[in-house]
Structure 1
Amino acid sequence: MCGIYGYIGEHSAAQIIVKGLRSLEYRGYDSAGIAVIDNVGNINISKFGEHKSSIDKLTKSIKDNKFNGNIGIGHTRWATHGEISKNNSHPHSDSDNTVAIVHNGIIENYLEIKQKLECLGIRFSSQTDSEIIANYLSYEIKKGENLLKAVSKLKKVIRGNSSILAISISNPEEIIGIRLGNAGGIVVGLDDNATYISSDLSALLPRTNKILYLENQEIIKISNRNYKLYNSDLEEIDRSPQKIEVDKYDVDKGEYPHYMIKEINEQPNSIQSSIAGRINFSSNTVILPEIDNKEINISEFNRIIFTGMGTSLHAAMYGAYIFENILGIASSAENSSELRYRNPVIDDKTLLIAITQSGETADTLSAIEHFKNKSCKVISIVESFGTEASRISDSTIRIKAGQEIGVAATKTLTSTMVTLIQLALFFNLDLNKSVGNTISSLIKDISILPSSISEVLNCETEIKKLGNSMSGYSNILYLGRGINISTALEGALKMKEIAYLHAEGYPAGEMKHGVNALLGSKMPTILIIPDDELFEKNLGTINEVKARGSKTLVITDSNSKDLRTLSDDLIVVPKINNLLSPILFIIALQIIAYHTAISLNLDPDKPRNLAKTVTVE
């Protein structure tokens, strides 16, 4: 959840670290801070726990000469333990200010450790679990250990997933990092004059593409221009850095007021990027070089489980529907946090498809590891290669959406959906199934999907009015059937995430089983109604909703006169293959949620209590 960043080199560390933290702010923006060892060997700390203004205040504070050192660490926080305040902000130091640390993760046994340290006379100034790390390291150093050795002892002391960076006045020319479990990554960047360390690759790429990843139970000691990598027993590991070739993302908002609306409008391009080089529209074939038939042979599986969290779970539900429809293989979608604990009945004929845009979602990584331990094959769907998910899966497919800054997923969702369709079509050919009219029609409509999305975006002015009207309500109901149950759930999630309104997504068939009790003039209903075989059933649902006094907003690809008569408000998107139409419906729902938030004077890029990457349970 949190972002960590470190630097050692020839230049002033403070400015470089703060710039790195800005790149990591999507991981958490409750607080921000840095610790720098100055030119006389003292640790100087500046930190702010003032939510979204923290980094701006931090930037002003480091102009002081005491932040002139060339080694330091920084942190941007998503609060898990303790309120949002300066005391609970990172970096944390020991009471003598001889050690400073930044931490991403959760220490499950921190109360037990804290009590032991308090018995030794050590006092604490925060409510966090992280502060115990600084005090424990200081305790070990006072006993005669160096910083590297002290950090290595953490693996036997703390429980839970953690990534930690530490500096000390006893070893003033080095930063020590350790990764324990799946609490987000630690990535080291190297160039000729400096060494960088971060929780995310994207924060390093402006500086260098010479990269080294830490694996679980590994420790790194970095100094200017070099590094040493160790296992948990401090045995040196010989691993060379790799050169990462990645897209150059445009992370400026440009003419847009927020990243979210910019990323919504980027979806024609992100979808085009996702299909480029993969689909041959002349021969109706799909090429996915990432899938090795010897490694993943679809004919060997009789069951497919899709997993993810949040928006990725909704993509998983969509994927399960698509795969059953196209391949005829039993497919289901499960929440990663539940899947990893319930000990599902699986075997080597079960394929797991794990969806994690960041590639670092803790629950999803744990689900992958569980399946790997059961000798199951795993495909991960991610934005970037080199993430933890891609390293522990059998195959990885990039969605190629480009970097997404807004916390609420928009273009990464629709690119994931298109990637899943392509994977299903690829496997369909792999099973030597004929390319009938249904598949040919689907592939043809994929080719026009970017232009169809553009048509939806051109209706933003009209959709904006509906978003503004939603801001007057406290409760909203979203209904869908079949493939669009996940569409309804995603629409409700977006409204909760950025407009802070109570929104519920339900299968339309559930209405008579309890949901009708909620209906009335204070709860508008948004219905997703495609022009498909369930169209007449959905007309009946509108009548049910209206009979109970609820306002109806219908999103459809039908030009039915009955629909226009029944609905209070109507959004008509272009007609496209029914397996693709949820993408267009979702984009309309994204725009509604965005403008609802704006009407309520909320910042959709930084919703309260949320972070872009969830690296803790």
Structure 2
Amino acid sequence: MCGIVGAIARRNVVPVLVDGLKRLEYRGYDSAGVAVLAGDEIRRVRRVGRVAEMENAAHTEQLDGTLGIGHTRWATHGGVTEPNAHPHVSNGLIAVVHNGIIENHEAKRAELKAAGYVFTSQTDTEVIAHLVEHHYRAGHDLYAAVKKAVRELTGAYAIGVIARDRPDELVCARMGCPLLVGLGDGENFIASDVSAVIAATRRVVFLEEGDVGLLTRDDVTITDQGGVVVERPVHVSDVSLASLELGPYSHFMQKEIHEQPKAIADTLEALVDAGFQMHLFGHKAGEILPHVRGVKILACGTSYYAGLTARYWIEAMSGLPCDVEIASEYRYRAACADPEHLVVTISQSGETLDTMEALKYARELGHRWALSICNVRESAIPRASDLVFFTRAGAEIGVASTKAFTTQLVALFALSVLLGKQRGRIGAADEARLIDELRHLPGSIQHALNLEPQIKAWSERFAAKNDALFLGRGLHYPIALEGALKLKEISYIHAEAYPAGELKHGPLALVDEKMPVVVIAPNDSLLEKVKSNMQEVAARGGELFVFADLDSHFEESDGVHVIRTPRHVGVLSPIVHAIPVQLLAYHVALARGTDVDKPRNLAKSVTVE
């Protein structure tokens, strides 16, 4: 959510800012704006709506400058209005863009009002702009003013700041929200995501917590939280421009659904070559994993459902107890901690604030070891963890997670097998069999993708519905949860998921001819139980949409529609069955005409509470 881009160069930076903001659109936003230093004034253009509207306004107003900042805002403090859009300007002297939430903004607002500052927005960000100006007027040193200002802020922030009379300086700072510096030739950049600057440079520096940076056209200076000048490592990004373009697809979600065979194959590459080895989870894994006596998984949203699936694998394969908790709930309860339980955090971006804070809380409670499963290198959560498994899903642009989810499942499966192996519960023959099954997984995913025409035909029946129910049992209950989440996220149909055995304990009251019921029904040990639950639905006039395996022996009839995936793939079945529910949500959303890649009210990278 929210995106930042900034640039200082010898060329007009407005096209750079606009291009960067377009590449950040996937993060979720409701307004956009840019501010540039033009001559001896700060000129600003802001618009509610899409970046394209702001771009047209900037073109009409002939915005031009060699120093500037831009922002896409996802509303938190204050409604979706132009006065609340970023950048915020203080008395024509200071311009600021900001991601995050300032928790003490009300107290600071009162202080600044008493000092004579006039507020024109409802945002916490305007407090930062006035506070920087307050300190800047005392010494006309922008870098020092930003350092003083951020020391007075409580909360999370990533900020970019320019001043009217400092044409050769761009200042930035971060605490709790991601921010990086892009290094160019005679030009430098800031961004909340590498995708915003990848067209200009691949050389990036990731700021650490509490860092404040000063950028000129030829140099970058960074001081840490203690005010000491530091050198942060330079990384060469491997994000490709092709991964940020739609290519032949209509939407990024569609593209990313179809990229899953490759994403899974890439994530599995080292594993199928070397087997289930400790080093896959980092150089300390051999020291830590043999001593683990339990697992606690912390995650949010789709990643939480990946964790719920992993609980079945971990307990069955390793015999270790496994708890799965919603990160935003865990961090606020008096939890009991066992120091020998491994904390596993799951986050596509590696910057999910609730998950990061939950990890910090787990450390405070006494957990000794932490493992991160993440798709973004050099992000905050992996840096705070002892062990890490980087999935290789590539850039995921669509807000509704697809390939990040299935590659997380692959990583969690690998962890489950490794824990079982080192506890003597999985032998060499079992390991060889599981590696062979993983080797065939991308092909099974492709077979599931080939069901798209049949699923698209179903979508027309769903488009007019207002509610839906998803059912699954055992390993596939979390996939039912994920299917319901996907449908509500992008089609805005209210959807719920339940373990199929719980149907008679309440949800059955909702079932009638208007309520489509989606059932995940693979040919596993619980199939006959699921069939009984389906009879309960059919007896109440409910319409059943069943995702089954080729050998599940379901017969279609009035009110019972069946789509069969290929052969049952055993314990890997949840990964395969995730594909049909993704495709169903996508095509129902298309049929209803919603914005598939940028659903209302949602953001890709959730860096606020």
Q: Same fold (TM over 0.5)?
A: yes
Which residue does 2:499 correspond to in 1?
Answer: 507
Which residue does 1:82 correspond to in 2?
Answer: 78
Map residues 116-155 of structure 1 onto 2, 5 A cutoff.
Answer: 116-155=111-150
Give the 3-state SS of the residue equivalent to 1:381 in structure 2: strand
8 Å CA contact 2:317–2:419 kept in 1: the answer is no
Which residue does 1:379 correspond to in 2?
Answer: 371
| Cα distance per residue 1:461-507 (max 9 Å; x no partner) | 11101122111110100011111111011000000100011000111
Give the 3-state SS of the residue equivalent to 2:315 in structure 1: helix
Which deviates more, 293-302 or 386-395?
293-302
Residue segments in structure 1 that go unaligned for 5+ positions in a row: none
User: Are residue 483 (structure 1) and residue 483 (structure 2) matched?
Assistant: no
8 Å CA contact 1:99–1:137 kept in 2: the answer is yes
Map residues 397-408 of structure 1 onto 2, 5 A cutoff.
Answer: 397-408=389-400
Shift of 1:299: 2.3
Which of residues 156, 159, 165 in structure 1 aligns to 2:154? 159
Specify the code of the residue in structure 2 equivalent to 1:488.
A
Which of residues 224, 236, 245 in structure 2 aligns to 1:252? 245
Which residue does 2:315 correspond to in 1?
Answer: 324
Specify the code of the residue in structure 1 equivalent to 2:503.
M
Aligned residues between the structures: 607
Which of residues 196, 213, 223 in structure 1 aligns to 2:189? 196
Give the 3-state SS of the residue equivalent to 1:532 in structure 2: coil
Give the 3-state SS of the residue equivalent to 1:277 in structure 2: helix
Give the 3-state SS of the residue equivalent to 1:462 in structure 2: helix
Map residues 452-463 of structure 1 onto 2, 5 A cutoff.
Answer: 452-463=444-455
Give distance in 2, aligned partners of 1:468 and 1:436.
48
Change (3 A) 1:285 1:120: closer
8 Å CA contact 1:6–1:74 kept in 2: the answer is yes
Give distance in 2, aligned partners of 1:11 and 1:576.
58
Change (3 A) 1:193 1:528: same
Map residues 418-567 of structure 1 onto 2, 5 A cutoff.
Answer: 418-435=410-427, 438-564=430-556
Shift of 1:85: 1.8
Specify the code of the residue in structure 1 equivalent to 2:168.
E
Map residues 237-276 of structure 1 onto 2, 5 A cutoff.
Answer: 237-248=229-240, 249-276=242-269
Which of residues 314, 331, 344 in structure 1 aligns to 2:335? 344
Which deviates more, 458-467 or 492-501?
458-467
Specify the code of the residue in structure 1 equivalent to 2:183.
L
Shift of 1:577: 2.7
Give distance in 1, aligned partners of 2:554 and 2:595.
38
| Cα distance per residue 1:303-351 (max 9 Å; x no partner) | 1011111001011111121111211111121101111221321132010
Which residue does 1:42 correspond to in 2?
Answer: 41
User: Are residue 363 (structure 1) and residue 354 (structure 2) matched?
Assistant: yes
Map residues 563-574 of structure 1 onto 2, 5 A cutoff.
Answer: 563-564=555-556, 568-574=560-566
Shift of 1:609: 0.6
8 Å CA contact 1:147–1:168 kept in 2: the answer is yes
Specify the code of the residue in structure 2 equivalent to 1:26.
Y
Give distance in 1, aligned partners of 2:580 and 2:233.
43
8 Å CA contact 1:210–1:244 kept in 2: the answer is yes
Residue segments in structure 2 that go unaligned for 5+ positions in a row: none
8 Å CA contact 1:271–1:415 kept in 2: the answer is yes
Give distance in 2, aligned partners of 1:588 and 1:375.
38
Give distance in 1, aligned partners of 2:254 and 2:363.
38
8 Å CA contact 1:477–1:523 kept in 2: the answer is yes
Shift of 1:131: 1.3
Which deviates more, 246-255 or 302-311?
246-255
8 Å CA contact 1:351–1:377 kept in 2: the answer is yes
Specify the code of the residue in structure 2 equivalent to 1:612.
K
Give distance in 2, aligned partners of 1:576 and 1:163.
47
8 Å CA contact 1:270–1:402 kept in 2: the answer is yes
Which residue does 2:68 correspond to in 1?
Answer: 72
Give the 3-state SS of the residue equivalent to 2:52 in structure 1: helix
Change (3 A) 1:382 1:221: same
Shift of 1:145: 4.9
Give distance in 2, aligned partners of 1:295 and 1:207.
40
Change (3 A) 1:145 1:446: same
Give distance in 1, aligned partners of 2:573 and 2:555.
17
Specify the code of the residue in structure 1 equivalent to 2:249.
Y
Shift of 1:103: 0.5
Which residue does 2:208 correspond to in 1?
Answer: 215
RMSD: 2.0
Give the 3-state SS of the residue equivalent to 2:328 in structure 1: helix
| Cα distance per residue 1:340-381 (max 9 Å; x no partner) | 221321132010111001010001111122223324211111
Percent identity over paired residues: 36
User: Are residue 225 (structure 1) and residue 221 (structure 2) matched?
Assistant: no
Which residue does 2:23 correspond to in 1?
Answer: 23
Change (3 A) 1:98 1:407: same
Give distance in 2, aligned partners of 1:102 and 1:155.
14
Give the 3-state SS of the residue equivalent to 1:34 in structure 2: strand
Give the 3-state SS of the residue equivalent to 1:211 in structure 2: strand
Which residue does 1:11 correspond to in 2?
Answer: 11
User: Are residue 598 (structure 1) and residue 566 (structure 2) matched?
Assistant: no
Give distance in 2, aligned partners of 1:137 and 1:335.
37
Shift of 1:58: 2.1
Change (3 A) 1:141 1:276: same
Which residue does 1:110 correspond to in 2?
Answer: 105
User: Are residue 300 (structure 1) and residue 296 (structure 2) matched?
Assistant: no
| Cα distance per residue 1:140-179 (max 9 Å; x no partner) | 3234452222212233432211111111113231111111
Shift of 1:109: 2.2
Shift of 1:245: 4.9
Change (3 A) 1:339 1:352: same
User: Are residue 100 (structure 1) and residue 95 (structure 2) matched?
Assistant: yes
Shift of 1:26: 1.5
Shift of 1:244: 2.6
8 Å CA contact 1:385–1:396 kept in 2: the answer is no
8 Å CA contact 2:472–2:520 kept in 1: the answer is yes
Give distance in 1, aligned partners of 2:404 and 2:2.
21
Specify the code of the residue in structure 2 equivalent to 1:12.
N
Specify the code of the residue in structure 1 equivalent to 2:3.
G
Shift of 1:240: 4.2
| Cα distance per residue 1:41-60 (max 9 Å; x no partner) | 2101011112xxx2112222
Which deviates more, 267-276 or 438-447?
438-447
Give distance in 1, aligned partners of 2:316 and 2:195.
37
